[in-house]
A and B are shown apart, each in its own frame.
Chain A
Amino acid sequence: MWMQNWLMSFGHQLEHASWVVAMSDYPRLFTVFSVIHYFSVFLIVGTSAVVDLRVAGLAARRLNVSAIAEGLFPWTWTGLGLSAVTGFFMFMPEAAGFFTASAFFIKLGLVMVAVVVALVVQKNARRLGQAAAVPASTKLMALVSLALWIGVVLAAVEIAQQADV
């Protein structure tokens, strides 16, 4: 209970930070953050999915695994950076609201796990190179990565159901 009270008062404090209050004068900013957030999430999930499906042997089999992983790597992480920054700005004005939704914490946790797994898949993919056979454990890891990103999106849409944000 004290934890919840503390979270709520912390959330309200964040909402009333002077720069957050100043930002509310420019509602257009929120639209800009949302557009960048959605776009960068599609970029993360889309590029990860292509690498995952390639490693699992389900897509783009004529393209070299390590070349694909290496080429898309910077874009996946650009997407992650952009979505983290815009996500933070979307969170701040409604901080207390987000704190009332368990899906918000599940989402943050899943993002962290998904990022670690994506790093492992990237590393595996770079090592594979021209090797013809992909070990079953590496394929499984790629499919787990894909499932985690879908889990992140599910947690994200559940937030809107749980909290009035």
Chain B
Amino acid sequence: MQDLLFAFCKWLQSTWLGHHVGSTLWAYPYVQLIHFSGLSLWVGTIVILDLRLLGLTLRGQSVTELADQLFPWKWTGLGIAVIGGISLLSATATTYFHNPAFRVKFPLVLTGIAYHLFVQRNVTKWGRDRSLPIQARLAGFLDLAIWLGVITAAVNIPNY
């Protein structure tokens, strides 16, 4: 598995994308811009939903409808963030592969996406009652915590 992932990193770095992002100085900030813009949309919409699950905002709106209405923009945000993220990774993939903070961040991102899919699936069920069940509040809190964890891991990448 490790060998396979490392081979993938090596391949990614050798692609046209890896060469360009890595060797042209002007390109890097624009790729960062794509990553951060996508993240703003993804994390922003997720936080809105989590705060609603915790009962801290938009209490007049049903959770189900809010989740439903934010759905397309939320996943568009993730799509943009992933495209930007892979491009950033392509410049230094083989170095990142050994970076301990990146090794925490990557699985945490996958966990976060999987967990959010679980939240998305259950929101319809939770939203039926006027007052949200305790599981819904807990889910909102956990969702928020995972993404704060992702940011913490990301911020630590340059420290290694």
Binding site for B on A (CB under 8 A): 31, 34-35, 38-39, 41-43, 45-47, 49-50, 53, 59-64, 67-68, 71-72, 74-75, 149-150, 153-154, 156-158, 160-161
Binding site for A on B (CB under 8 A): 25, 28-30, 32-33, 36-37, 39-45, 47-48, 51, 57-61, 65-66, 69-70, 72-73, 77, 148, 151-152, 154-156, 159
**What's the Cα separation between A136 and B28 when bound, in Å?**
36
**What's the Cα separation between A74 and B47 when bound, in Å?**
13
Minimum CB distance partner of B35 in chain A: A157
* A-B pairs with beta carbons under 8 Å apart, 26 shown: A31-B155, A34-B155, A35-B155, A38-B154, A42-B44, A43-B44, A43-B47, A46-B44, A46-B47, A46-B48, A46-B77, A59-B69, A67-B58, A67-B61, A72-B48, A75-B48, A75-B51, A149-B40, A150-B37, A153-B36, A153-B37, A154-B30, A154-B33, A156-B36, A160-B29, A161-B25
How far is the CB of A153 from the nearest CB of chain B, in Å?
A: 5
Q: Are B151 and A39 in contact (CB under 8 A)?
A: yes
Q: Are B40 and A45 in contact (CB under 8 A)?
A: yes
Q: Are A161 and B48 in contact (CB under 8 A)?
A: no
Q: From known contacts A31-B156, A43-B47, A157-B33, infer whether A49 and B41 are also in contact, taking CB-CB under 8 Å.
A: yes
Q: Are B57 and A75 in contact (CB under 8 A)?
A: yes
Q: Are A154 and B29 in contact (CB under 8 A)?
A: yes
Chain A to chain B: the 3 pairs with minimum beta-carbon distance, closest first: A46-B44, A45-B40, A71-B58
Interface centre among A50, A62, A156 (most CB of B within 10 A): A50
Q: Are A42 and B51 in contact (CB under 8 A)?
A: no
A42 to chain B: which residues have CB within 8 Å? 39-40, 43-44, 47
Which of A34, A35, A50 interacts with B148 by CB under 8 Å? A35
A35 to chain B: which residues have CB within 8 Å? 148, 151-152, 155
How far is the CB of B46 from the nearest CB of chain A, in Å?
A: 8
B65 to chain A: which residues have CB within 8 Å? 62-63
**What's the Cα separation between A13 and B63 when bound, in Å?**
51
Q: Are A63 and B37 in contact (CB under 8 A)?
A: no
**What's the Cα separation between A67 and B25 when bound, in Å?**
44
**What's the Cα separation between A49 and B48 when bound, in Å?**
12
